[in-house]
Amino acid sequence: MNTRTLAVLVLAAVFASHSIAQLPDNLKSDLGPDVKMKVRPGYRVTRALPNKAINEARFIQFSEDGKTLYVAQGREGKILSLRDPDEDGVFKKITTFVNDKSSVQGMCNHDGWLYFSQASEGSVSRAKDTTGDGVADQVENIIPPKTLPTGGGHPFEGLLVTDKQIYVTASDPTNMTPEIESPRKTIYVFDLDGKNKRVFCTGIRNTEKLRFRPGTTDIYGFDHGSDRFGNEFGETMNTNQPITDFNPPEEFNLYKEGAFYGHPFISGNRVPRPEYSKRPDIVALAAKTTVPEWLVHAHWAVLGFTFLEKDYFPDHKGEVFFCSHGSWNSTKPVGAVVERLMFDQVTGRPCGSKTIVDCYIDGRRTARPVDAAEAPDGSIVFSSDEPPALYRITKSQTSPN
């Protein structure tokens, strides 16, 4: 066995610790009318919005009082405000909260304002509805345009607003740019007034949402793995890629000030990308890389997530529901799921995951999950962008969780 073959086997063993978690096609699922997907026993999925009610649905955020669900429409440059007047679990009142923006992605509440990022112009703004009609009558720019990097193939900015600071992510514009010193691949932090920009941490690829774990000041987010991992070994892209199909993993990271997360040189648990394995500083780069808290299967493309703060689902409090969009760089389609990431109550660290919703039916994708938000009653709303829709996950009455 030569050195290169041994390296491939080692990489496969390191990365492929989590199997493809699509639910079985013969699974009996508890579904509402006009819902075509699979759901784990103990849970039920229903529509949270009438079919074809909106033409785009990306990231979502409940208002601080829980009465309004905001829906970011990146291409449209809008934020919609949705309400459920009769509280039957279906949003029927749709209003345009913010309009005529270059783009909208990350959203976060703070002190009565909805903050939102505009990655196409590298800015952050905030909006408030003081009259209760669902339309923002106050809109202010907090971080001016071009303060953050713009352009590239991943024009997305995750956003977290705290009592004192604003955190914003800047993605790698390509699959992997090799510069160590770069304005991209970075999480920035600002004072709450949008001033005093500084680097918080580096070495990320595409983290599209940031959140505190409830009861802590720990900042978490999911980072996408890079594509075409097996090219250096002679794979044929999208036809014969047994290495790339399972490598590298997606990462669930605990982001710390001053830390380096490896991209693009190091993936997962300190494994070098083949292209950079001969760099004279590769061992030093591995040594300084902060390893992920949890690894997710390659090419799932995790976008949004929510921490659970309520006791609605038994023994779920403090855990994560995350949305996997799916990726093009896999010969067999994977992802398009809503996954539960469990935490050990003793250590406070991730300890396992289960697929809750699977949007593949007989190999056909029926939805593409983007983001999740915990509703005031503890149920989970998640968005799909293909086709645009909102769904709700509740407890099933037919079997336990």
Complete DSSP assignment for 159-214: EEE-SSEEEEEE--SSS----SS-SSSEEEEEETTS-S-EEEEE--S-B---EEPT
Query: Is 371 in contact with 389 (CB distance < 8 Å)?
Result: no
Q: How far apart are CA 345 and CA 349, in angstroms?
A: 8
**Which pLDDT value is given to residue 254?**
98
Query: Rounded to two decimals, what is the model's pTM?
Result: 0.93
Q: What is the pLDDT of residue 167?
A: 98
pLDDT for residue 399: 63
DSSP, collapsed to helix, strand or coil, labels residue 15 as helix
Whole-angstrom distance between the N-terminal and C-terminal Cα of the chain? 47
pLDDT at residue 17, as a whole number: 41
| 37, 28 contact by CB (below 8 A) | no
Strand 320-324 relative to strand 302-307, pairing? antiparallel
On whether the CB atoms of residues 371 and 289 are closer than 8 A, the answer is no
| Residue 8 CB partners (closer than 8 Å, separation 6+) | 233, 243
Q: What is the chain's pLDDT, residue by residue, as a tens digit (401 residues)?
A: 344 433 443 444 444 444 456 799 899 999 999 999 999 999 999 999 999 999 999 999 999 999 999 999 999 999 999 999 998 999 999 999 999 999 999 999 999 999 999 999 999 999 999 999 999 999 999 999 999 999 787 878 999 999 999 999 999 999 999 999 999 999 999 999 999 999 999 999 999 999 999 999 999 999 999 999 999 999 998 889 999 999 999 999 999 999 999 999 999 999 999 999 999 999 999 999 999 999 999 999 999 999 999 999 999 999 999 999 988 889 988 999 999 999 999 999 999 999 999 999 988 999 999 999 999 999 999 999 999 999 999 999 876 66
pLDDT (0 to 100) of residue 15: 45
pLDDT score, position 11: 46
User: Which DSSP category does 42 fall into?
Assistant: T
Spell out the domain ranges in the chain: 3-395
Distances (CA, A) of 10 to 267, 269, 294: 14, 12, 19
396 within 8 A of 35, measured Cβ to Cβ? no
CATH number of 3-395: 2.120.10.30
Place of tokens 């760099």: 279
**126 and 108 in contact (C-beta within 8 Å)?**
no
pLDDT at residue 22, rounded to an integer: 79
Nearest CA to 91 out of 60, 53, 127 is that of: 53
Question: What's the confidence (pLDDT) of residue 147?
Answer: 97
